[in-house]
Structure 1
């Protein structure tokens, strides 16, 4: 979808952080406006990236929110590079990577997610998510696992809200057959997939193993489409989350998705396969 080409992914990320930091400081937009001598509408526009942000205004907000010097410099550096295309961030753990994705998942009109290893995050059950997280890192404490599961579950609220986005979830058959957490957990995950696939805003497609080699072997990705803002591609690996917004990148991933869908079963056939595999568990 066409959008405002001047609203870069970095600007949108700064805006999301400003909103989150204000809320953590337990301040309203009116509080900030009154203290800094700004209009309430300007504070609101800055938090939605619907107008330009001046370094001085952002720095004043960060000071009001008592943001650490390191975090303050990170946000201001991002703002100074706001006109650059694309954005990536390397983190030591998953919480920040997911938080960045949540900021963008909350706004799109359509999400298209291909996964070749695990169930799409927006369709995972809590117990599947926990088993997956602990399988990836068995050094996590129960408390750390609880926080990560809660973070991932919070992402799913976007699918059931008023004016929920359309979700196209495409998965390799291998995803459905990998026994994450054991048979019981996987069985319930498959039933959950089947139930959610019946929602009017969710479409599930499966690429059967018999498809052989296909473009999905190159990895998972998510395309987020917005109304009035540029679309994004999100790619995540072991410790890096990337948001791509160049026209060439978007075109490349859309072509990849088109090729994947050409190899995938239709929605009704996909639902039948999910039920069949669930019955085998």
Structure 2
């Protein structure tokens, strides 16, 4: 498999993903764009996949051809100007913006290691759990906005069931599974969904049990995204800030942290037993 550009920064990769999305929104092929701009279709494709460096003039030409609004054009070109900076962070006022880059990287990942200490990972949430969680975090959302956010998260989950599905390892604190999220029955059905998901060959679920004392996972949740032909990333999110790290020392530190969290988590079979036990407890609580 051809190697990706090891020097492609997170910012460049997000710009490349935006270029592909803009082209697809206009129902254009790489050949269509190449013919108009006088370049090869393979160059357009390489720009969109991050397998070649992005040149300011090329990106500006594409944005002009796609008739991108000036404010959006300035945002992308400014991001490109700063693409030599390692890592990337953004602060946004709305959840959709914070999710956008993560969704792009999830779609290309070959393997994801996801540690969550307070909530069920987004890729394993049921629709009703997702709705209750998002609504509880932001009471200002309209019904339409809430519907769109839930639909977006549910659509992301097809990554786990497609033919070339990624390998996904989710480690969840038991405390997250004992939160009262939503109406009675929501958590019970969420636990059952985790049990069902863990039966898929590409999905592994492990639980960090209560009562183990201090461990490195108490520092907070994180996601490690690994790619077949691009540099790997760590994703962090807190309130209205999302961050991507791509420096090797950061990646190494989070890999060590994840291994340490695995070291205190239950094995898959024991996790299934713990989930079944929690489900039984919840069944007793929700029974009429």
Q: TM-score, normalised by structure 2?
A: 0.95
Give the ranges of 4+ consecutive aligned residues of structure 1 lying more than 4 Å apart after TM superposition: none
| Alignment-derived partner of residue 52 in structure 1 | 53
| TM-aligned CA deviation for residue 27 of structure 1 | 2.1
| Alignment-derived partner of residue 35 in structure 1 | 36
Task: Give 5+ residue unaligned stretches, structure 2.
Answer: 283-288
Contact conserved, 1:3 with 1:226, CA < 8 A, in 2? no
| TM-aligned CA deviation for residue 28 of structure 1 | 2.0
| TM-aligned CA deviation for residue 222 of structure 1 | 0.0
Q: Where does 1:62-81 land on structure 2 (aligned, <5 Å)?
A: 62-81=63-82
| TM-aligned CA deviation for residue 255 of structure 1 | 1.2
Contact conserved, 1:98 with 1:151, CA < 8 A, in 2? no
Measured against aligned partners, the alpha-carbon deviations of 1:157-201 in whole angstroms (never above 9, x if no partner) come to 111111211111000001111121133111111100000001100
Cα distance in 2 for partners of 1:220, 1:3 equals: 28
Measured against aligned partners, the alpha-carbon deviations of 1:5-53 in whole angstroms (never above 9, x if no partner) come to 2122111111100011112223222221111111111111111011122
Instruction: Report the 3-state secondary structure (helix = DSSP H, G, I; strand = E; otherwise coil) of the residue aligned with 1:211.
Output: coil
Instruction: Report the 3-state secondary structure (helix = DSSP H, G, I; strand = E; otherwise coil) of the residue aligned with 2:239.
Output: coil
Contact conserved, 2:5 with 2:51, CA < 8 A, in 1? no
| TM-aligned CA deviation for residue 3 of structure 1 | 6.1
| Alignment-derived partner of residue 252 in structure 2 | 251
Aligned positions, number: 280
| Alignment-derived partner of residue 151 in structure 2 | 150
Task: Give 5+ residue unaligned stretches, structure 1.
Answer: none
Cα distance in 2 for partners of 1:232, 1:14 equals: 16
Query: Which deviates more, 116-125 or 71-80?
Result: 71-80
Contact conserved, 2:4 with 2:51, CA < 8 A, in 1? no
Contact conserved, 1:167 with 1:203, CA < 8 A, in 2? yes
Q: Alpha carbon RMSD of aligned pairs, Å?
A: 1.2
| Alignment-derived partner of residue 129 in structure 2 | 128
Cα distance in 2 for partners of 1:82, 1:30 equals: 27
Cα distance in 2 for partners of 1:155, 1:99 equals: 11
Contact conserved, 1:3 with 1:231, CA < 8 A, in 2? no
Instruction: Report the 3-state secondary structure (helix = DSSP H, G, I; strand = E; otherwise coil) of the residue aligned with 2:277.
Output: helix
Cα distance in 1 for partners of 2:102, 2:225 equals: 10
